[in-house]
Amino acid sequence: MSLCLEARQLACERDGRWLFEGLDLTVRSGEILRIEGPNGSGKTTLLKILAGQLGEYEGELYWNSTPLRKAREQFLANLLYLGHSPGVKAGLSPLENLAWYQALNGDKGSEEQRLEALAKVGLNGFEDVVAGQLSAGQQRRVALARLTLTRRALWVLDEPFTAIDRQGVTALEAQLAAHVQAGGCVLLTTHHALAVTSTVRCVQLG
């Protein structure tokens, strides 16, 4: 089964200023699409629009050739978005954080799944520590654990390599490559040079 997210003549105006206009892009199964551009060129805004978070745009978005406005629920059920902030509650342990994210998708999940996902991002022994006591990089890893925990086809990642050490970066790159090989697709922004074997397409903004 393949998937396809397509934007036609996408444009976004904020406070009387056009961030981008007439943007066409398509991302399919097995592809990594990287959005590039200088600071303030609207990369995050574009990602938010493509993740269905921002509804204020002109042009049309299609999810598997259905307009996104009509297929919103189905689209969201296949989406995993990681933004600038990791979305990890400081007052909850990594395990509890992941449990909430699973439940948010309507899946109760199991403790083993969560432990395994945390082990995969190298957080063994931190499962029950309150996330507020973890470092920024470790909190980031809790968020990244969702990539393995929740199987979603479309990943939209805003600067996923922020605050992660070199080994973590290598592992995440491998994970991205494995995801597209398995038929998923990835949309991302990063200032980091991607060392991924699979094809990476670029969209230039600004």
Partner 1 sequence: MSLQRTKAAPAVVIVEAPAQGSLWIAFKATLERDLTLMLRRRGELLNPLVFFALVVTLFPIGISPDPDMLALIAPGLLWVAALLAALLSLDSLFRTDYDDGSLEQLLLAPQPLAILSLAKVVAHWLFTGLPLALMAPLLGIMLALPAGSYAILSLSLAIGSASLSLIGAIGAALTVGIARGGVLLSLLILPLYIPVLIFGVGAVQAALLGEGVAAHLAMLGALLAASLLLAPWAIAASLRISING
Partner 2 sequence: MWTFIHKWGSPKWFYSMSGKLQPWFWTVSLLLIAVGTLWGLAFAPADYQQGNSFRIIYVHVPAAFLAQSIFVSMAAAALVFMVWKIKIADMAATVMAPLGAVMTFVALFSGAVWGVPTWGTWWMWDARLTSMLILLFLFLGVIALRSAFTSRDSGSRAASVLAMVGVINIPIIKYSVDWWFTLHQPATFRVTSSPSMPTEMWLPLLIMVLGFYCFFIALTLMRTRSEILRREANKRWVMDLMKEAH
Q: Which does 191 bind (CB under 5 to 8 A by kind): partner 1, partner 2, none?
A: none
Tokens of 178: 């494995």
| Residue 108 within binding range of partner 1, rule CB under 8 A | yes
- Find the part of the chain contacting partner 2 (CB under 8 A) among 8-16, 62-70, 159-167, 180-188: 8-16
The residues near 193 (Cβ < 8 Å, ≥ 6 apart) are: none
| Residue 157 within binding range of partner 1, rule CB under 8 A | no
Residue from 19, 35, 172, 188 touching partner 1 (CB under 8 A): that is 172
Tokens of 34: 């990287």
- The residue length of the chain stands at 206
- Find the part of the chain contacting partner 1 (CB under 8 A) among 16-24, 34-42, 178-186, 196-204: 178-186
Closest CA to 185 of 10, 70, 25: 25
Residue from 8, 9, 14, 69 touching partner 2 (CB under 8 A): that is 14
Q: Which does 99 bind (CB under 5 to 8 A by kind): partner 2, partner 1, none?
A: partner 1
Cα angle value 7/72/201 (rounded, 5°)? 30
Which helix or strand (DSSP H or E) is residue 183 part of? none
Tokens of 7: 């934007």
Strands 154-158 and 185-189: parallel
Residue from 27, 184, 187, 203 touching partner 1 (CB under 8 A): that is 184
| Residue 162 within binding range of partner 1, rule CB under 8 A | no
Give, as ranges, the residues between 19 and 78 that touch partner 2 (CB under 8 A). 56
- The answer to whether 20 and 200 have CB atoms below 8 angstroms apart is no
CB atoms within 10 A of CB 170: 12
d(CA 73, CA 6): 17
Fill in the DSSP letter of residue 79.
Answer: E
- The answer to whether 145 and 118 have CB atoms below 8 angstroms apart is yes
| Residue 67 within binding range of partner 1, rule CB under 8 A | no
Residue from 6, 25, 59, 122 touching partner 1 (CB under 8 A): that is 122
- Find the part of the chain contacting partner 2 (CB under 8 A) among 14-22, 77-85, 89-97, 186-194: 14-22
Residues found near partner 1 in the complex (CB under 8 A): 1, 3, 29, 48, 51-56, 73-74, 76-79, 81, 83-92, 96, 99-101, 103-108, 119-122, 130, 141, 144, 148, 151, 153, 167-168, 170-172, 174-175, 178-179, 181-184
